Structures are given as structure tokens and as C-alpha cells.
């Protein structure tokens, strides 16, 4: 029984975040910076002390500080994954603050980080969760495709557009949108690794072919501009005629009024 209690004590002391749930959880979006907090409970200065940051069971070296010497001023041994991306807060060391900042976080940075003080012996555990952003990952992930949009045919009154996606896996969602972001109804053909959308448009505008693959947080788009030469010309012409007519009427009325006023003025004289 004593042996069991001793083992439990050792586990809770060594892995408080895992066993007791007392660790800190930091959640950030991909490509942003993450601050992992760690401070001595005594708040005493750590300027002349040693603290060591490591990641996961593999114990990757994240940041090591020894009385002013660290990875950013000459010390070697930092894991390649974190090289050039981790810094500490020099002005907070006197307050026992050994927190670090990881810049430009990646999903691979997610995991359990340990902050270890040698003297006094204190360990802290922080879980970092880096959430994926929906962005263009073509060239980064196999199957993350790029769409294309082309004008297949056109007259002065309309244009036939085709939005095409090839080599996409997992299966993508593909949409045609106008310049305001409205989803347009289109004729769709779909195969195992390709999608085509066709639509005839009759309005001058920017048109987009938008591909989304939620499973791999990938989104890409292609854009084209369509100019319809006769779009709205009839209406605009009619409006011009009406406005022109109104101007003529106003001018005639003004002239008539001026003539009458002049005539009255002459008679009085």
C-alpha cells in the first residue's frame, strides 16, 4: 500500500497536467503567435537560474535558459522545428517569469510542453492547441487542388463560364460566385477526382470559382472578369432619352417665362 501511494505521489508530481488536470491549455489559430505561461510559485528572480522548455514525450528541446545563455544568443541544441521562432521575456525574469512565445505557429506545434526549473525543482505543463485555418494549401498537401475558371463562349449579350477542378482528394465542394459573394446556380458534372460547373451570365461582373476541402482545411479560388457590352444599354438609353426630354422641356419653359417677363417690362416702359 505504501508503495502504491508513493507511485501515485510521484506520478502526480511529475505529470500534474496529465494526471490532475491542473495544467494550462492555450488555444491559438495557425500562423499566429502563442504565449506559453510559466512562473516560479515563489516569484523569485530566475535571471541567474536554469529553466528548460521541452515538448511531448520525445522531449524536443524548445528553449533552454542558463543564467543568461540561451538558444537565441549562442547556445546550441535547439530542435530544428523551433529554431528562430521561440523567445522569452527578458524583462520579466526578475519576477520569476519564464514564459516563452512561439511565433508563426503550425499545427505540428500542438502538444504538451513542460517548463522545468532545476532550483527550486518545479515542473509546469502546458497544452498547446493550434487550430487549422481554412486557407490555400495547394502545394503543401497532396490532393489540395487549385480551381480554374474560363470563358468558353461569349456574345455581346452573354458569356458561358466554366469552373473546373481536377485531382482533388478528398472530394471538394465547388461553387461559382459573383463579385458580391452570391452563390450562382450552375450545371454540375462530377467524377472521382474532378468537378466542372457551367453557367451562362448576362451581367458585367467579377466571377469566382471557389473550391473548399474542409477535411484538410483547404480553400482556393480562381477569378475572371466578364464584360457584357449590351448589358443595361437599352435601359440606360431610355433613361438618357427621358432625362434629355426633361431638360428640353425645362429650357423651353424658362425661355417662355423670360419672354413673357420681358414683354411685360417693355409695355410698362
Cβ neighbours of residue 228 under 8 Å, at least 6 residues apart? Answer: 156, 157, 158, 159, 201, 202, 203, 204
pLDDT tens, residue by residue, 194-209: 999 999 999 999 999 9
Domains and CATH numbers, the chain: 22-131 (2.60.40.10), 148-226 (2.60.40.10)
pLDDT tens, residue by residue, 154-186: 999 999 999 999 999 999 999 999 999 999 999
Q: What is the pLDDT of residue 240?
A: 54
Strands 183-184 and 187-190, by their bridges, are: unpaired
Q: How far apart are CA 35 and CA 32, in angstroms?
A: 10
Q: What is the mean pLDDT of the chain?
A: 85
* The three cell numbers locating residue 32: 499566429
pLDDT tens, residue by residue, 53-77: 999 988 999 999 999 999 999 899 9
* pLDDT > 90 in the chain, percent: 72
Q: How far apart are CA 241 and CA 58, in angstroms?
A: 79
Q: What is the pLDDT of residue 269?
A: 53
187 vs 251: which has the higher pLDDT: 187
The pLDDT of residue 45 is above 60: yes
- Mean pLDDT for 226-249 is 63
pLDDT tens, residue by residue, 90-103: 999 999 999 999 99
Under 8 Å between Cβ of 78 and 71: yes
Q: What is the pLDDT of residue 192?
A: 85
Q: Is the peptide bond before 234 cis (omega within 30 degrees of 0)?
A: no
pLDDT band at 11 (very low <50, low <70, confident <90, very high): very low
The pLDDT of residue 120 is above 70: yes
Amino acid at each position: 500500500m505504501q508503495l502504491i501511494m508513493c507511485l501515485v505521489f510521484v506520478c502526480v508530481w511529475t505529470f500534474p497536467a496529465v494526471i490532475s488536470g491542473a495544467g494550462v491549455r492555450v488555444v491559438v489559430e495557425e500562423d499566429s503567435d502563442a504565449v506559453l505561461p510559466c512562473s516560479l510559485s515563489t516569484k523569485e528572480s530566475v535571471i541567474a537560474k536554469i529553466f528548460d522548455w521541452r515538448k511531448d514525450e520525445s522531449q524536443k528541446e524548445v528553449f533552454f535558459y542558463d543564467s543568461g545563455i540561451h538558444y537565441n544568443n549562442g547556445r546550441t541544441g535547439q530542435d530544428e522545428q523551433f529554431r528562430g521562432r521561440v523567445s522569452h521575456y527578458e524583462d520579466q525574469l526578475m519576477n520569476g517569469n519564464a514564459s516563452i512565445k512561439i511565433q508563426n505557429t503550425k499545427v505540428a506545434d500542438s502538444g504538451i510542453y513542460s517548463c522545468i526549473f532545476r532550483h527550486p525543482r518545479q515542473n509546469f505543463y502546458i497544452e498547446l492547441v493550434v487550430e487549422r485555418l481554412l486557407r490555400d494549401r495547394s502545394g503543401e498537401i497532396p490532393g489540395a487542388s487549385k480551381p480554374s475558371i474560363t470563358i468558353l463562349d461569349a456574345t455581346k449579350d452573354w458569356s458561358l463560364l466554366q469552373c473546373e477542378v481536377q485531382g482533388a482528394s478528398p472530394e471538394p465542394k465547388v461553387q461559382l460566385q459573383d463579385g458580391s459573394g452570391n452563390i450562382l446556380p450552375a450545371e454540375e458534372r462530377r467524377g472521382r477526382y474532378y468537378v466542372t460547373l457551367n453557367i451562362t451570365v448576362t451581367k458585367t461582373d467579377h466571377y469566382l470559382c471557389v473550391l473548399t476541402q474542409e477535411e484538410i482545411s483547404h480553400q482556393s479560388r480562381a477569378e475572371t472578369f466578364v464584360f457584357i457590352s449590351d448589358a443595361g444599354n437599352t435601359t440606360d438609353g431610355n433613361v438618357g432619352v427621358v432625362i434629355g426630354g426633361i431638360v428640353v422641356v425645362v429650357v423651353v419653359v424658362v425661355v417662355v417665362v423670360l419672354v413673357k417677363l420681358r414683354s411685360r417690362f417693355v409695355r410698362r416702359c
